[in-house]
Amino acid sequence: MREQPEQQAPPVQRLRIRYAKRGRLRFTSHRDFSRAFERAVFRARLPMAYSSGFNPHPRISYAGAAPTGSASEAEYLEIALARVVDPAAVHAELEEALPPGLDVLEVVESAGGSLADRLEASHWAIRLDPARLDRAAAERAVAAFLAAGEIPVERMTKKGLRTFDCRAAVERLAVRDPEPDGPDDGPLELDVVVRHGVPAVRPDDVLRGLAGIAGLDVGPAPLMTRLAQGPLRADGVVDDPLQE
């Protein structure tokens, strides 16, 4: 009979971490990031708790990862530790161990419950190319999108090509002005709040919906940035999931 593996002690502390994907590191896939983060945990010598079984691995739970190619200021994960440590020290150590562009923004003690369940919606900014369209065209497309009862889009998933309604998940969609201190002809942005669901509606799905219903052409690779991710308030604002 094969000898049973040693059972690991349960974690004594859980920390929740918010991090950003910026610049060229926005093209990092979730798998690439998980490998980079595990290496950073090793270099920082964090007292990680490990799973039991024949192949123990550090207890790291990822939640709500942004699509590859999207920038984000609101990515989240949770780590389990074998002894109690100062969250501020973990913040500093991980920031030192991760490459620039994968930036730790906040580390707090877990308040319990499921982190993933608190990620109900995402707030996105989608940069528009002023050479392709003006504000009036963007606003007409947004008005047509919001007036529609249903907007089917297609996307290739792990289970094959799927068709789903991208309109129902959109809580807010508007054209945002250029930055106040920027040039008058600076790029506009689409301001989007999307409720999470299955399948998850992503910002590129919203762009396909705008193209389908109004012919909006934003170009081949618009910059999409997740600004926030967390509980969705009744007024459409996405709250901080690390604050109870």
Report pLDDT for 81.
97
CB atoms within 10 A of CB 193: 20
Report pLDDT for 218.
87
Report pLDDT for 8.
74
Share of the chain above pLDDT 70, in %: 94
Among 117, 151, 177, the domain boundary falls at 117
Report pLDDT for 5.
66
Interatomic CA distance for residues 153 and 164, integer angstroms: 6
Interatomic CA distance for residues 138 and 93, integer angstroms: 44
Both 60 and 17 in one domain: the answer is yes
Mean pLDDT over 135-161 rounds to 92
**DSSP annotation of 158:** T
Both 138 and 150 in one domain: the answer is yes
pLDDT at 1 over 70: no
Both 57 and 102 in one domain: the answer is yes
Q: Is residue 243 part of a domain?
A: no
Structure tokens at 111: 């308040």
Reported as type and span, the H/E element at residue 153 is strand 152-157
Among 97, 117, 137, the domain boundary falls at 117
The parent domain of residue 79 ranges over 13-117
Both 111 and 126 in one domain: the answer is no
Helices of type H across the chain: 30-43, 87-97, 115-118, 135-147, 203-214
Both 112 and 127 in one domain: the answer is no
pLDDT at 214 over 50: yes
Among 79, 101, 117, the domain boundary falls at 117
CATH number at residue 207: 3.30.70
Both 108 and 133 in one domain: the answer is no
Both 61 and 162 in one domain: the answer is no
Confidence of residue 135 (pLDDT cuts 50, 70, 90): confident
CATH number at residue 59: 3.30.70.580
Q: Is residue 125 part of a domain?
A: yes
Q: Is residue 200 part of a domain?
A: yes
Ranges 1-5, 66-70, 159-163: which has the least confidence: 1-5
Q: Is residue 4 part of a domain?
A: no
Number of structural domains (the chain) is 2
Mean pLDDT over 232-236 rounds to 95
Q: Is residue 84 part of a domain?
A: yes
Q: Is residue 128 part of a domain?
A: yes
Q: pLDDT: is 105 or 134 the higher one?
A: 105
Both 172 and 219 in one domain: the answer is yes
Both 157 and 188 in one domain: the answer is yes
Note if the bond before 187 is cis, omega within 30 degrees.
no
Mean pLDDT over 43-63 rounds to 90
CA 70 to chain centre: 8
Q: Is residue 78 part of a domain?
A: yes
Mean pLDDT over 83-107 rounds to 96
Mean pLDDT over 37-49 rounds to 95
Ranges 136-145, 176-185, 232-241: which has the least confidence: 176-185
Interatomic CA distance for residues 90 and 183, integer angstroms: 40
Both 160 and 105 in one domain: the answer is no
Report pLDDT for 182.
47
pLDDT at 185 over 60: no
Mean pLDDT over 92-110 rounds to 96
